[in-house]
Amino acid sequence: MAVVGSGQKALMAGVPALAAVSALSTLAVDLAEEAGMTLAGFVRGTSMNLYTGAHRVVLG
């Protein structure tokens, strides 16, 4: 549940994106999607899983 709490705090602060080093809960993904926030999980080095907001990420 820490990611959900962090995501809610980030949303209230106006942060448009949040990254985590581990898996994200379905609740966190749903909340981020509803809020239009970019959410990435399993962020390690140059790889990540994008759960929401992929249109904001430029690969290159």
Q: What is the pLDDT of residues 3-12, one digit of tens each?
A: 556 777 887 8
**pLDDT at residue 42 in the model:** 96
**pLDDT at residue 7 in the model:** 73
Please write the tens of the pLDDT for every residue from 48-60.
999 999 999 998 7
Give the start-to-end residue ranges of the domains of the chain: 2-52
Average pLDDT over residues 18-34: 91
Closest to 39 measured CA to CA, from 60, 9, 16, 14: 16
